[in-house]
Amino acid sequence: MKYNIALLRGDGIGPEIVDSAVRVLKAAGEKFGHEFCFTPYLIGGAAIDETGFPLPQETVDGCLASDSVLLGAVGGPRWDNLPGDRRPEKALLGIRSALGLFTNLRPARLYPALKDACPLREEVAAQGFDIMIVRELTGGIYFGDRGYRQGKFGLEAYDTECYSPMEIERIARVAFETARKRRGKVASIDKANVLETSRLWRKTVHQVAEGYPDVEIRDVLVDNAAMQLVKDPSQFDVIVTSNMFGDILSDEASQITGSIGMLPSASLNETTRGMYEPIHGSAPDIAGKGIANPIATILSAAMMLRYSFSLAEEADSIENAVDRALNEGLRTGDIAPKGAPTLSTAEMTDEIIRRL
Ligand code: NAD
Residue of 95, 265, 280, 348 to mutate, ligand 1, most atoms within 8 A of C-beta: 280
Q: How far is CA 35 from CA 25, 90, 231, 245, in A?
A: 9, 32, 45, 38
Among the residue ranges 12-21, 163-172, 270-279, the one predicted with the least confidence is 270-279
How does residue 272 score in pLDDT terms, banded at 50, 70 and 90? confident
Span from the CA of 69 to the centroid of ligand 1 (angstroms): 20
Of 229, 286, 235, the C-alpha closest to 252 is 229
Residues shown for the chain: 356
What's the confidence (pLDDT) of residue 93?
87
Q: What is the architecture of the domain spanning 119-256?
A: 3-Layer(aba) Sandwich (3.40)
Closest-CA residue, ligand 1 atom 26, reads: 281
Nearest atom, ligand 1, residue 283 CA: 3
Q: What is the pLDDT of residues 304-348, one digit of tens each?
A: 999 999 999 999 999 999 999 999 999 999 999 889 999 999 999
Q: Has residue 154 got a pLDDT over 90? A: yes
From 20, 70, 260, give the residue whose CB has the most ligand 1 atoms within 8 Å, as the site to mutate: 260
User: What confidence tens digit (pLDDT) does each residue in 64-110 have?
Assistant: 999 999 999 999 999 999 987 789 999 998 999 899 999 999 999 99
- What does the domain layout of the chain look like in residue ranges? 1-102+271-356, 119-256
The answer to whether the beta carbons of residues 94 and 55 sit under 8 Å apart is yes
Mean predicted lDDT score pLDDT of the chain: 95
What pTM, to 2 d.p., does this model score?
0.91
- Residues in CB range of 303: below 8 A, 6 or more apart: 105, 264, 265, 266, 274, 276, 315
Please identify every residue annotated as catalytic. Answer: 142, 191, 223, 247, 251
Residues lining ligand 1, Cβ inside 6 A: 13, 17, 73-76, 89, 92, 260-261, 277, 280-286, 292-293, 296, 334
Closest CA to 94 of 134, 67, 54, 64: 54
In the reported structure, the alpha carbon of residue 17 is separated from the centroid of ligand 1 by a whole-number distance in angstroms of: 12
Check if 1-102+271-356 and 119-256 are the same fold.
yes
- pLDDT recorded at residue 83: 86
CA atoms within 13 A of residue 115's CA, in its CB half-sphere: 12
- What whole-number percentage of the chain has pLDDT above 70? 100
Q: What is the rounded (10 degree) CA torsion for 177, 181, 184, 185? A: -60
Domain at 1-102+271-356: CATH code = 3.40.718.10
- Residue 260: is its pLDDT beyond 90? no
Cα separation, 92 vs 292, whole angstroms: 21
Cβ proximity of 78 and 49 under 8 Å: no
pLDDT confidence bin for 116, thresholds 50/70/90: confident
| pLDDT the model gives residue 157 | 97
Ligand 1 centre from 28 Cα, in Å? 27
What's the pLDDT tens digit per position in 186-222? 999 999 999 999 999 999 999 999 999 999 999 999 9
Please compute the mean of the pLDDT values over residues 168-195 and round it to a whole number.
96
